[in-house]
A and B are shown apart, each in its own frame.
Chain A
Amino acid sequence: MSTPVVTVHDAVVGDGTSTRSRSARRWRRARLPLALLALVVVAGILSALPEPRTSTLTLAPDNPGDLGARAAAQILGREGVDVRYVRRIADVQALAVPGSTVLVVGDYLLTDEQVDALGATEADLVLVDAGWALGVLTPALASSGEYDAAPDVRTAQCDDPDAVAAGTITASGGLLGIGPGAVVCFPAPGTTTDQGGSYAVVESDGRRVVAVSDMAPFTNEHLAEQGNAALVLRALGRHERLVWYIPSLDDVGAGGGTEPAPGELLPPVVTILALQLLLVVVVTALWRGRRLGRLVTERLPVVVRAGETTRGRGRLYRRGRSYGHAAAALRAGTAARSAGRLGLPRSAAAPLVVDAISRATGRRAADVEALLYGPPPTDDRGLAQLARDLDHLESEVHRP
């Protein structure tokens, strides 16, 4: 070839855009996603704002359902009682100063250490629906073990001022006063307080322990019935501060903060270092993420291999189990090539071909004819055998 012709194109300066046009284009492109993002953020904030958080936990002060106790908590709050809702024993220990009330809801999830910690506080206790913990916290009371399904209307029948003020309540279950100083009220209808009641008070060592056998009077559903409200509000509103403690399953600490959370084990500098590392990661992402120009695409040609159709035909033969067709093809191929090698025309008749091949190979004409024009095989093995035999025959054919 001669010296290559080189095409020289005119010089190009810039791409016809200015800073203004580029920023306008970027703004046009970005405004819709930005508007959508803003919409989502605003909607999220609006949906999060108005409703205070609620739960569905039984007797929780933020549960507005039938089994919740938000009514009682809200009334107490309005009357000036500082209601603190806690789930961890450590928080109870921190908040339960002398001159406050601790409400303990249930004792199924309490450990021995947690009950001891409750006993160690100097605050007044209100135990609702407590069983074994009752005996640990005050030896004067015990649960009668009765758990009636339906609460019934009970009268005070004692001289505790709270009980007297309430008059009647709806409750079930029973508490027994077994020690000195125990006052038991609201026995089941037709029984006396000696046989147990729903409400019991013990004053010992300058603290007051109130036990209520049933959580029904506290619930939103039953608070307004009979004198439930009076009893509950008087029992819980005795002091300025009420610690509303509902034990939780994941709080296994005995209190005192001996087991800090995993995050607290690390030195504080780690958090700051992580933030700085985040900056490094972000800058690295920006560095690697910016491509030097767009990807260049290419129109690719069709890729169909020439052998595909032949293979497809072979599969068809196999699926159709056409041993006859396959064998005929193999035989015809061998016959045509052998005939060509022996100098016969393509149009030579079958007996002529058989005769020529048998003379060239020294095989008997009948054998050659059976091989080339015999019955078709009926299975894979027969076909493979035929193919091998034909190969042998063909390899023996030489020009005479």
Chain B
Amino acid sequence: MAVTWRAVVLSALGLPVVLLVPAGGTVLLWTLLVVVACVVDVALAASPRQVAIRREVPASVRLTEPATSTLTLTNRSTRRLRALVRDAWPPSTGAQSDRHRVDVRPGDGARVRTVLVPTRRGDAHADRVTIRALGPLGLAGRQASLTVPGRLRVLPEFASRRHLPSRLARLRELDGRASVQVRGPGTEFDSLREYVIGDDVRAIDWRATARRSDVVVRTWRPERDRRVLIVLDSGRTSAVRVLDAPRLDASIEAALLLAALATKAGDRVELLVFDRRVRGRVASATGARVMAAFADTLALVEPELVETDWPGVVAQVRQRLSQRALVVLLTALDPSAVEQGLLGVAAQLTDRHQVVLASVSDPEVDALRTARTGAAAVFDAAAAERVGLERAAVAVRLRQRGAEVVDALPDDLAPRLADTYIALKAAGRL
């Protein structure tokens, strides 16, 4: 039961009547009239519970890209359905206008579309669909909220994919497929081809040249089919906000770019999301399915407010990897957390694998470090300086244990990690 603005107008129309016949009875009669008109209108309204609702919603959408939730309403009653329909979604799905007017004849159908522009990663579940069916007078109506299931998976934005073309170009240069041949990178024999001017003469394969009339050079390519394991730390340090997003989001961007790059480079990429237990994993996906699996898994990762179990991480890595691989730890270079956790077990990882630790640094600390406005700012600057020194010290200790450390601002982390990967590949250290 709900009334509309028309009911208000109807009751306000009583004012001139009361002026004409100023008596208490007039008010009473007019009130009765309004009530009776509303009750009759409600009685004549179509039942919102005799509407068949079918929902169509994309299974997934990338963050900040629009998706459309479509409701198909079929009027199964014998009355005309004039209704206001609300397709309710959580606020972070950014529903532009979720209210729709429909006018459906008996047995007919109508379709309403709600455009969603999600602003938050993860699964968004549709709330109820509310139908307010108005009577023929439009004074009042019947209202029902119905549960129509719907789920929209919001994938990470992968804004760092704009760095992908340039990195792929550098990868191709390494690969010997680029028009400009650079000699040296890679140790794996690839193929023989004709000598062109500019090639290093040391690459000439004399035996093959003798067999043919042309001068033939050998080309190498970087190793392929290496394994890359990306370990994403979803513990408490990942919940911290840097600029306006959790540290985890920057790590996810870096993981996606690295996965895309490594897949293109022919390596096998796996993912492990871990804090005190496994929160998500991608293994044994190949080719085009890797990125889809990564996006799907990373969409649901949320920071947990627990301390990360680093011995547990090491156990997981050992279990998953039998041969030498690149292990990328996406975590925070938080001095106390690293000293308590990772530093103790880093050697167990580095003695078998190439380890890269990637961490998001905070531009706010840099701003604090250079602030000189007043005594409080100088103390803050001293604290920021101390934090920076401790981070540097921890990074040094990790490097001494054989790990590469990438410490970058949120927007730079993904390209820097990609560069590190390319550098390692070029150096044949994978």
Selected contact of B147 from candidates A12, A269, A307, CB within 8 Å: A12
Are A310 and B384 touching (Cβ within 8 A)? yes
Q: When chains A and B are docked, how far (Å) is the Cα of A391 from the Cα of B378?
A: 12
Are B22 and A292 touching (Cβ within 8 A)? no
Are A272 and B26 touching (Cβ within 8 A)? yes
Q: When chains A and B are docked, how far (Å) is the Cα of A325 from the Cα of B387?
A: 13
Q: A6 with B372: in contact, given A15-B144, A304-B240 (CB under 8 Å)?
A: no
Residues in chain A near residue B19, CB distance under 8 A: 269, 273
Q: A6 with B56: in contact, given A273-B18, A279-B34, A292-B132 (CB under 8 Å)?
A: yes
Interface residues on B, range: 35 or more
Binary B-proximity of A315-350 (CB < 8 A = 1, otherwise 0) = 111100000011101101100100000000010000
| Interface-central residue, B12, B52, B53, B381, by most chain A CB under 10 Å | B381
Residues in chain A near residue B376, CB distance under 8 A: 314-315, 318
- Which of A44-52, A86-94, A234-242, A282-290 faces chain B? A282-290
Min CB–CB distance B359 → chain A (angstroms):
11
The answer to whether B186 has its CB under 8 Å from any CB of chain A is no
Binary B-proximity of A200-234 (CB < 8 A = 1, otherwise 0) = 00000000000000000000000000000000000
Residues in chain A near residue B26, CB distance under 8 A: 272, 276
The answer to whether A370 has its CB under 8 Å from any CB of chain B is no
The answer to whether A313 has its CB under 8 Å from any CB of chain B is yes
The answer to whether B365 has its CB under 8 Å from any CB of chain A is yes
- Which of A61-69, A132-140, A185-193, A382-390 faces chain B? A382-390
Q: When chains A and B are docked, how far (Å) is the Cα of A4 from the Cα of B295?
A: 14
Min CB–CB distance A209 → chain B (angstroms):
47
Residues in chain B near residue A336, CB distance under 8 A: 389, 392
The residue on B at minimum CB distance from A301 is: B246
- Which of B1-9, B175-183, B273-281, B313-321 faces chain A? B1-9
Selected contact of A13 from candidates B3, B50, B365, CB within 8 Å: B50
Residues in chain A near residue B302, CB distance under 8 A: 301
The residue on B at minimum CB distance from A332 is: B389
- Which of B86-94, B204-212, B264-272, B343-351 faces chain A? B86-94
The answer to whether A11 has its CB under 8 Å from any CB of chain B is yes
Min CB–CB distance A378 → chain B (angstroms):
13
Min CB–CB distance B161 → chain A (angstroms):
11
Are A12 and B52 touching (Cβ within 8 A)? yes
Are A310 and B383 touching (Cβ within 8 A)? yes
Q: A8 with B31: in contact, given A284-B8, A318-B379 (CB under 8 Å)?
A: no
Residues in chain B near residue A296, CB distance under 8 A: 88-91, 127
Min CB–CB distance A337 → chain B (angstroms):
9
Selected contact of B150 from candidates A1, A9, A332, A388, CB within 8 Å: A9
The answer to whether B30 has its CB under 8 Å from any CB of chain A is yes
The answer to whether A298 has its CB under 8 Å from any CB of chain B is yes
Q: When chains A and B are docked, how far (Å) is the Cα of A9 from the Cα of B126?
A: 12
Are A4 and B58 touching (Cβ within 8 A)? yes
The answer to whether B151 has its CB under 8 Å from any CB of chain A is yes
User: 8 Å CB contacts to A: which residues of B7-55?
Assistant: 7-8, 10-12, 14-15, 18-19, 22-24, 26-27, 30-31, 34, 49-55
Min CB–CB distance A221 → chain B (angstroms):
48
Are A293 and B34 touching (Cβ within 8 A)? no
Min CB–CB distance B270 → chain A (angstroms):
22
Are B241 and A303 touching (Cβ within 8 A)? yes
Are A333 and B148 touching (Cβ within 8 A)? no
Are B385 and A269 touching (Cβ within 8 A)? no
Other CB < 8 Å A-B pairs besides A292-B143, A311-B380, 17 of them? A7-B58, A7-B150, A11-B52, A13-B51, A272-B27, A273-B15, A277-B15, A280-B11, A287-B5, A287-B8, A293-B145, A298-B91, A325-B386, A326-B383, A329-B383, A330-B381, A333-B388
Q: What are 26 A-B pairs with beta-carbon distances under 8 A?
A: A11-B74, A15-B146, A269-B19, A275-B27, A276-B11, A276-B14, A280-B12, A286-B2, A287-B7, A290-B3, A293-B86, A296-B89, A296-B90, A296-B91, A297-B90, A298-B91, A301-B239, A306-B365, A310-B368, A310-B383, A311-B383, A313-B383, A317-B379, A317-B382, A327-B382, A333-B385
Q: Taking beta carbons and an 8 Å cutoff, which residues of B are in contact with A?
A: 1-5, 7-8, 10-12, 14-15, 18-19, 22-24, 26-27, 30-31, 34, 49-62, 67, 72, 74, 76, 84, 86, 88-92, 99, 127-130, 132, 143-151, 239-242, 246-247, 302-303, 305, 362, 364-365, 368-369, 372, 374-376, 378-389, 392, 396
Q: Which 4 A-B pairs have the closest CB atoms?
A: A293-B130, A314-B380, A326-B382, A14-B49
